[in-house]
Amino acid sequence: MGIKPSYIKNLGTALLAKQRENFSNNFDANKQQLFASASIDSKRVRNRVAGYITRKMNAKKRT
């Protein structure tokens, strides 16, 4: 999906800074964690943030 909007990046980065231990490199697990911990009403935005967090966790794992 190309370049992500800045609000997705900002939200994902803030959540990773506060709750990094709760997230993994599994998209479905991250989706469930976001549903439980963050108050994001839109399903689409929640899924995009979960995808961004998953990509960041996978990038960290590769390095």
Global confidence as pTM = 0.88
pLDDT of residue 60: 79
pLDDT of residue 22: 93
The yes-or-no verdict on residue 63 having pLDDT over 90 is no
Q: For 5-44, b where at least 16 C-beta lie within 10 A, e where not — what string?
A: eeebeebbeebbeeeeeebebebeebbebbeeebebeeee
The yes-or-no verdict on residue 2 having pLDDT over 80 is no
Which pLDDT tens digit goes with each residue over 5-57? 999 999 999 999 999 999 999 999 999 999 998 888 999 999 999 999 999 99
pLDDT of residue 1: 58
Query: Other C-beta atoms within 10 Å of 62: how many?
Result: 6
